[in-house]
Amino acid sequence: MEAILTQGLTKKFGAFVAVDNVSFSVSAGEVFGFLGPNGAGKTTTIRMLCGILPPTAGQALVGGVDVMKEPQKIRGNIGYMSQRFSLYTDLTVAENLTLYAGIYGIPENAVKRRLKEVMELSALVGKEDALVVDLPTGWRQRLALGCAVLHEPEVLFLDEPTSGVDPAARQAFWELIYQLSSQGTAVLVTTHYMEEAEQCNRIGMIFAGRLVAMNTPTLLKERIPGKVYEVEAGDTIRASEIMRQLPGIAEVSPFGRRLHVLTETDTTTRTKLRQALTKAGITVSSLEQVAPSLEDVFIYVAQETANENNKKHR
């Protein structure tokens, strides 16, 4: 049985379609990432799967329970860390955990054991009496995760759990995610960070409510039909304009201080790119073929989706 299974899941707010016919599944022990720009429909999807928001159409089973028919029953089976995770900042670490243990109805004789386990899991041992307001963001996030898994849910929803924390804290948080998934928890996580998406077993890319690509990071990269060149040039803006006008170029996008050039086929060579730039008087300090990154795929898929929409509306 899949931990999460959706079929044509749809949410409309009035005439606006926030989640459009989304079908996917997540199995036990899998870390599935939702990658998409702001407003793509990630949070709305999660809220439907948590039984908080009724879908307009389609079906969703979470832990085998239908979110439409038995939303109450879902809640005991899931952990949910919302975008603005809800800790009580004027309470201590231990008080927050105790409070959530009560909310989740953890039996009296199990509370002590679970509190201890969760303190260890979230690396907060020794901080029991610290006020949440005094904790750095990274620690709060670990505590919020701890609260969300107190009742040992089968399915865990993490909505941008690491936004606003430094890379080291993010990495520590991901180690927690792996620990939980290795114990069989199914994890659905949303993120903006490409290096986090890289760490998911599978990724769903979501644009304007539609799931437009879904696969492992490795296989997603194979979607790019041509090559990716990384270019470091004197005048980035002009270099970008010039390369974009060459035949066989799918996309040119900024990549840090450099540019990434996605070609449609294998015929656009390094030499051709370099010649075009040099001819326009642009200094090229480096021009190399690189392996596609997830960001390249994301940009490519976004472009592809925009083109399809334009065709439809013409």
44 binds, among ligand ADP, Mg ion, none (CB under 5 to 8 A by kind): ligand ADP
Find which of Mg ion, ligand ADP, none residue 188 binds, CB within 5 to 8 Å per kind. Answer: none
Helix axes of 236-244 and 270-279: crossing angle, nearest 10 degrees: 120
CB nearer to ligand ADP: give 133 or 306.
306
Nearer to ligand ADP, 87 or 206 (CB): 206
CB of 16 to ligand ADP, least distance (A): 6
**Does 178 help bind ligand ADP (rule: CB under 6 A)?**
no
Distances in whole angstroms, Cα of residue 129 to Cα of each of 69, 94, 135 = 41, 6, 11
Nearer CB in complex with ligand ADP: 6/44: 44
Q: What is the DSSP string of 275-308?
A: HHHHHTT--EEEEEEEPPPHHHHHHHHHHHHHHH
Rounded to whole angstroms, how far apart are CA atoms 297 and 171?
A: 23
Closer CB to Mg ion, 44 or 293, in the complex:
44
Compare residues 42 and 202 and give the one whose CB is closer to Mg ion. Answer: 42
User: Could you say which of Mg ion, ligand ADP, none residue 41 binds, taking C-beta under 5 to 8 angstroms by partner kind?
Assistant: ligand ADP
Q: Do β-strands 258-263 and 210-215 pair in parallel, antiparallel, or remain unpaired?
A: unpaired
Positions in 91-110 near ligand ADP (CB under 6 A): none
108-121 and 167-182 are packed helices; what angle lies between their axes, rounded to 10 degrees? 130
| Stretch 4-43 residues interacting with ligand ADP (CB under 6 A) | 13, 18, 36, 38-43
Q: Classify 282 in phi/psi space as left (phi over 0), alpha (psi -120 to 50) or beta.
A: beta
Minimum Å distance from CB 14 to ligand ADP?
7
Q: Which of 5, 30, 41, 43 lies at the binding interface for Mg ion (CB under 5 A)? A: 43
Q: What is the rounded end-to-end Cα distance, in angstroms, of the chain?
A: 43
Joined together, the tokens standing for residue 304 give 């592809």
- Given ligand ADP, Mg ion, none, residue 254, with its beta carbon under 5 to 8 Å by kind, binds none
Distances (CA, A) of 7 to 23, 61, 83, 240, 282: 4, 9, 25, 41, 51
Say which amino acid occupies 287: L
Out of 6, 10, 44, 92, point to the residue binding ligand ADP (CB under 6 A).
44
Name which of 42 and 151 has its Cβ closer to Mg ion.
42
Q: What is the rounded distance in angstroms from the CA atom of residue 38 to the CA atom of residue 15?
A: 19
Query: What DSSP string runs through 118-142?
Result: HHHHTT-TT-TTSBGGGS-HHHHHH
Which residues here bind Mg ion, judged by CB under 5 A? 42-43
Which residues here bind ligand ADP, judged by CB under 6 A? 13, 18, 36, 38-44
